[in-house]
Amino acid sequence: LIFGYKQRGPDAIKANNLFHNLSYEGAVDIDKIEDVMERKAAEAHIQNFGQCPSQLLTRKDGRHPKRAPATECWTQLFSSNERVEGLNVYNPPNQTTNGTKVLALSIVGETLRVVHEDFQISNYFFSPQGKDNLPFTLKLTGKVGVTEAVSRVSLENRCHACFLPGGDGDGVEAPPLLLTGFWDEAIKSYQFPSSKSGKTLHLESSLKAHRGTIPCLASSSSYVVTGGDDCIVNISIYDYPQLAKALVGDGDGGRENGKLAVTRRCYGHCTAVSCIDVCAVTGVVVSGGGDNVVVHKLLTGQFVRKLEVGEEVVCIKVNEVGEIVVATKDSLQLWSVNGSLLRRMEGLGDVGAIELSGVFKSQYIVVATGNWLKILAFGTLHLLKEFELPARAVCLYLTPPDNSVDQYLILGLEDGRVGVICDPSHRFKCMDDALQAWFE
């Protein structure tokens, strides 16, 4: 009745499952109603009486569509403690690098893009097919770069990068890239060249929204957040002018240049902002500066609360239920969005990056500290497994669900190389199950 074939049509009439015509999805296009009063009436009806959900099942026999076999389904890397025990770390040989650390990683289709501190991007062919005694294939195919970066890059360790959601639906074009660390103290968005022969990124927009350098940035959905040496957190919208205009209203913001538009400016810090993260699902922005963490609302920029961690904050992450992981120089702390300290772990050392993973909500914390990578249980901070790395990891990236039937954790190292963590036994099991199903 709700999602099935009896939601609409003759079967709905027989089941007495009828509603007003405006209640059905796609029944009317509001933008095509020319009469102002009629359009307002339609909007009011939808807002006050609601809409039927999307019709998912249209088969009259009522059967659920056949499920795909497990060998064709995406599987999460961190799904159970048993799966964690089977993980291995691999350091692919023959990587061409100029020794500059990795700032950001992104994979689209079979192309892994690695952004280095000198704003040169290495393109690798990445495939789950094993090669050279590795359970995957990683091969350098070319490089692209930012021409103006060489003469404008500011002080060391002040350059940062992140990828935005985007690219085409076929998984061919790369998502837009945001860079900070230029002499003009601006945040800039770039598009990758459309042809494989292109060697230079295309500058889309350049926005100067801070007084001073920008030590950190992060993105979620269409939102971009930046923290500056001016103690200000900026919330911006990328390539969504209607949303940006709606959010600015009478609030503090409104600066825009090209596809980037600042919608809110947050003033909760008394010191320079050193790390930042954002979650569009929960609608919160968390930022660290000095020995404090500040929480703001994403849409309004409203100050929520300040978490006094008591030590200098070096890295921060927030998950989709509002739980905040804070790394300091001496400890790892787990906080609720309501300001309660849930767990604390001492003696981790120099934390370079944090990643959260798990089913439904974060169940595992991956921490890169020194030349080690540690996997912790989220609720207890209990150490489950650790790997020794050839160099310090400064960037962690979990491949997205649309990439392959397996998930990989890509490590960006300080010397410019990349490492890969995966579960080779799981892929072999899927292949074995597929062969057995074929012979049956």
Q: What is the 3-state secondary structure (H, E, C) of the chain?
A: CCCCHHHCHHHHHHCCCCCCHHHCCCCCCHHHCCCHHHHHHHHHHHHHHCCCCCCCCCCCCCCCCCCCCHHHCCCCCCCCHHHHHCCEEECCCCCCCCCCCEEEEEEECCEEEEEECCCEEEEEEEECCCECCECCEEEEEEEEECCCHHHHECCCCCCEEEECCCCCCCCCCCCCEEEECECCCCEEEEECCCCCCCCECEEEEEECCCCCCCCEEEEECCEEEEECCCCCEEEEEECCHHHHHHHHCCCCCCCEECCEEEEEEECCCCCCCCEEEEECCCCEEEEEECCEEEEEECCCCCEEEEEECCCCEEEEEECCCCCEEEEECCEEEEECCCCCEEEEEECCCCEEEEEEECCCCCCEEEEEECCEEEEEECCCCCEEEEEECCCCEEEEEECCCCCCCCCCEEEEECCCCEEEEECHHHHHHHHHHHHHHHHC
Can you list the residues of the chain whose pLDDT is less than 50?
Answer: 149-155, 168-171, 250-253
- pTM of the predicted protein model: 0.80
Q: What is the pLDDT of residue 384?
A: 93
Q: What is the pLDDT of residue 156?
A: 54
Q: What is the pLDDT of residue 196?
A: 65
